[in-house]
Amino acid sequence: MSAQRPRKRFGQNFLHDQHVLDLIISAADFQDDDRILEIGPGPGALTSRLLATGLPVLAVEIDRDLGAALQARDEKNLEVKIGDVLRLDWMGLLQNPPYKLIANLPYNISSQVLFKVLDHRHAFRRLILMFQKEVGDRLVAEEGTRNYGILSALIQPWFQIDRVVKVPPGAFHPPPKVDSVVLCLEPLSKPRLSLYDEALYRRLVKGAFAHRRKTLRNSLLGSGWAAELIDQAFSEAGINPGRRGETLKIEEFGMLANLLSTYDMGEE
Ligand code: SAM
């Protein structure tokens, strides 16, 4: 197939910077028994590098033309699935864990991919992912800083996150309007939190950041949490309800969530 024009609706900014590709491969630190999942292989610049390792690569591409072109390469170690990675059943997809997920993600789905990863985190050994720089900043942000938010508090309990390289727009075709960053996410052997109810933790974090200008208490009230429950949890945890959500450490969110999950929540 001759090169098609990049499709904006699929977030197609193709990476052509060889140095960045080198850094992605070396950060992946491939081992003989690794399996690779690539999301959005596009025309396959990164895919070719991945295949050069000799490891099995499973690639999911939404663009039928690009997916078909990759399938036509008939590579022994490459399996291409055509479809929307957010709609696929990841249990079915990740049949032979653990995987290393390596991807130059389309910006518009990066948070949703991370939430999927979170739900299947035991299937992953390492992730090397390209993000819009602002999203990368949010992932690594510490409490009390402007970028600290839902992504930070949902991902950091489970992953060590390191910057691999900052990537300027000129590394892509077409160049995006923003800077990008490659991050390495490695599952923590000892997670920062031990939660009784992870869904409740997520709901709490989302509620705490839903109204950033409000106090933690008011933000949670505004998100439907019952006053008596959260007041009891604040008091038992020794957390001042007048603080703002962004000042809470991950461990403080964890403590609140575990307290809340021991209370009788009644009907929801
Ligand atoms: N990996 C290639 C590279 O580095 O040049 C392409 C990266 S480009 C930023 C994102 C790729 O993800 C595109 O090929 C796009 O078609 C694909 N894509 C976008 N949304 C997708 C989705 N929901 N599921 C699977 N692939 C998707």
266 pLDDT tier (thresholds 50, 70, 90): low
Within-domain flag for 138: yes
* C-alpha of residue 127 to centroid of ligand 1, in Å: 16
Same domain for 249 and 174, yes or no, is: no
Residue 63 alpha carbon, nearest atom of ligand 1: 16
Overall domain count for the chain? 2
List of E strands, the chain: 14-15, 35-39, 57-61, 78-82, 99-104, 124-132, 159-167, 172-173, 180-187
- Please confirm whether the linkage preceding 169 is cis (ω < 30° from 0): no
CATH, residue 143:
3.40.50.150
Same domain for 204 and 227, yes or no, is: yes
Q: What is the pTM of this model?
A: 0.95
- Mean pLDDT of the 71-75 span: 95
Q: Is the pLDDT of residue 264 over 90?
A: no
- Candidate from 16, 36, 49, 62 with most ligand 1 atoms within 8 A of CB, to mutate: 62
- Mean pLDDT of the 124-129 span: 98
Q: What is the predicted pLDDT for the residue at 1?
A: 43
Angle, helices 198-210/250-262, rounded to nearest 10 degrees = 120
Same domain for 179 and 131, yes or no, is: yes
Tokens of 180: 């990008």
Residues with CB under 6 A from ligand 1: 10-15, 39-42, 45-46, 60-63, 66, 84-86, 104, 106, 109
Same domain for 19 and 97, yes or no, is: yes
- Mean pLDDT of the 146-162 span: 97
Q: Is the pLDDT of residue 221 over 60?
A: yes
Q: Is the pLDDT of residue 250 over 90?
A: yes
Domain with 101, as residue range(s), is 8-187
**Rounded CA gap, 31 and 40, in Å?**
22
